[in-house]
Amino acid sequence: NAGVTQTPKFQVLKTGQSMTLQCAQDMNHNSMYWYRQDPGMGLRLIYYSASEGTTDKGEVPNGYNVSRLNKREFSLRLESAAPSQTSVYFCASSELEQSYEQYFGPGTRLTVT
């Protein structure tokens, strides 16, 4: 099992450009999440999808959109990137039977100039 995979690993954008971060999991989990990690801030929840077909805002959703494409895939889109969105982005998945313990991907390091 690959677990949770994310693409790309690194990305540099100019202010105003758009991009989509991809995430896929092969553990048959119902719930998926996007977090951002900034120095000294821990991880903060951007959006989550409790089950296929649903998405909800987390703590810091402004400037982002998400799509739960199917049970395996959950993408995060930046429509018009801003320097404040420079961060490391982590995708995670979880399941009720495992007490919603989060399984994390390796992260995408995004720089917006």
Partner 1 sequence: AQSVTQLGSHVSVSEGALVLLRCNYSSSVPPYLFWYVQYPNQGLQLLLKYTSAATLVKGINGFEAEFKKSETSFHLTKPSAHMSDAAEYFCAVSISGGGADGLTFGKGTHLIIQP
Residues 17, 19, 50, 55: which binds partner 1 (CB under 8 A)? Answer: 50
Prior bond of 8 cis (ω within 30°): yes
Q: Which stretch binds partner 1 (CB under 8 A): 18-26, 51-59, 67-75, 76-84?
A: 51-59
Q: Decide: is 60 part of the binding site for partner 1 (CB under 8 A).
A: no
Torsion over CA of 74, 18, 82 and 103, rounded to 10 degrees? Answer: 20
Q: Quick check: 105 binds partner 1 (CB under 8 A)? A: yes
Which residue among 2, 40, 53, 62 contacts partner 1 (CB under 8 A)?
Answer: 40
Choices 11-19, 20-28, 42-50, 68-76 (CB under 8 A): range interacting with partner 1 = 42-50
